[in-house]
Structure formats: structure tokens, C-alpha cells
Amino acid sequence: MMNTDHAIGTVGVLGAGRVGTAVARQAMRAGYEVKIATGKPAAEIALLAEIVTPGASAVDAIDAAAADLIIVAVPLHKYRTLRPELLKDKIAIDVMNYWAPIDGEIDDFEADPRTSSEVVQEFLGRSRLVKSLNHIGYHELEEDGRPPGTPDRRALALAGDDPAAKAAVADFIDRLGYDPIDAGPLPAGRAFQPGTPIFNGSHTADELTALLETSNATASL
């Protein structure tokens, strides 16, 4: 695992959809304490959490955001319902995708040449956002994880502007069962957005590194 100055013990998941709950279950298997929240009061999702993410605590968003690491897994069109003040200075993984053919066009992203994560980062202000876990199916996340050193272990990319945040997220990804590959700053997340070869497939660390290098070379032309 990578060394990091930010030890992750608790994980807060904002969003109880398929992706958020899959990350929650995998995080618990990895030994993390998990808190899950939605836009509803904790009492209203307690039964859901008990059934779908047994072992995770159903909490209000303010309590989930107090965790060491935050998983931002709300539907992307609802990203403005997030409360930036709760995520100030927090390490957060953006697992959301803008996928117009599936989810419909969203003006915030259609009219902006930046990646969806850059738009979300601007809205959240001082959060330490890292893009990752968006290019693996929620069912695959729980099936494909392997211990470090396993031959042909699947790799996942991450992109962000805060080196310490990326180190913490890389350690988290490793514990979930995947080789973390640093793609670069947040705009580099474009290489693994929907429709890209990385998004569309499963790759080892060497394969993913090669695809990222090709994407970076193309972007610089």
C-alpha cells in the first residue's frame, strides 16, 4: 500500500444508489467503518441501510461528511444539492459520470468544456476532490477485487490536484482490491470518462498505464 499522511479509518458515502452502496459494501469488506447518507433524514434510510448495506450506519449528511474519506455518489444532476461547507478540506472521491446518452443532457456540463469533475470541484470549492471508481461497474467492484500482487489484478485510475488526497485515495483503492494508477491532475480524468477505452474495459496496471499515456499524448497534440 502507498504511504499517506492521512490515515483513513471511516468512510462516508453520500448517496445510496447502486454505486454508492456497492462502494460501501466493498469498503466494509476492506475493514473500514462506513457511514451512509442521502438527502433524507437518517431515520428514513435506516431500514434501507440495514438491508442493502448491512453493517453500515445510516446517518445524516453532516455526520457522513465528518468521515475521513467521502464518497460522492449522488446522481450527477443533483450535485448542487451537496453542501460545500460540509466537504471543505475533506478528501472526496467523485464516482459520478456525465453520460448524456443514458442520463440526458445537463446544461452545466454541455455548456462547459471542462470535465464533469472539474465542474463539481468548482462548485464544492475547497474540497480535495479525486476522480475515481467511476470506470468500473458497481457489480464488478464487488467481484473483481484481488489481493496486492495477484497476477493480472485489475487497475483503476485516479485524477486530482491534491497529492496527499491522491495518496490517500490510492491506498483506499488498493485496500478495495485494485491497483491504483495516478492519471495526473483532475482534468486528466477525461481519459476515463464514459465512452473512452478505459471506461469501456477492464485493464491491468500495465494496460491502464499505456492507455493513459496514449490519452495524454493525444490530448497534447
* 4 within a domain of the structure (yes/no): no
Range list of H helices, the chain: 18-29, 42-52, 61-64, 100-103, 107-110, 116-124, 138-143, 163-176, 197-200, 205-219
Number of structural domains found in the chain:
1
* 89 within a domain of the structure (yes/no): yes
Query: Residues 138, 108: contact at Cβ < 8 Å?
Result: no
* 5 within a domain of the structure (yes/no): no
User: Which SS3 state, helix, strand or coil, does residue 159 take?
Assistant: strand
Q: Provide the domain limits for residue 54.
A: 10-219
Kindly tell me if the per-residue pLDDT of 220 is higher than 70.
Answer: no
Output helix, strand, coil percentages for the chain, rounded to the nearest 5. Answer: 45, 15, 40
What CATH number did the domain enclosing 132 receive? 3.40.50.720
Residues 159-178 pLDDT 10s: 999 999 999 999 999 999 99
Strand partners, 91: 69, 128
* 3 within a domain of the structure (yes/no): no
Kindly tell me if the per-residue pLDDT of 84 is higher than 70.
Answer: yes
pLDDT average, residue stretch 70-98: 97
* 207 within a domain of the structure (yes/no): yes
Kindly tell me if the per-residue pLDDT of 3 is higher than 60.
Answer: no
Give the pLDDT score at 1: 37
* 71 within a domain of the structure (yes/no): yes
Query: Residues 23, 156: contact at Cβ < 8 Å?
Result: no
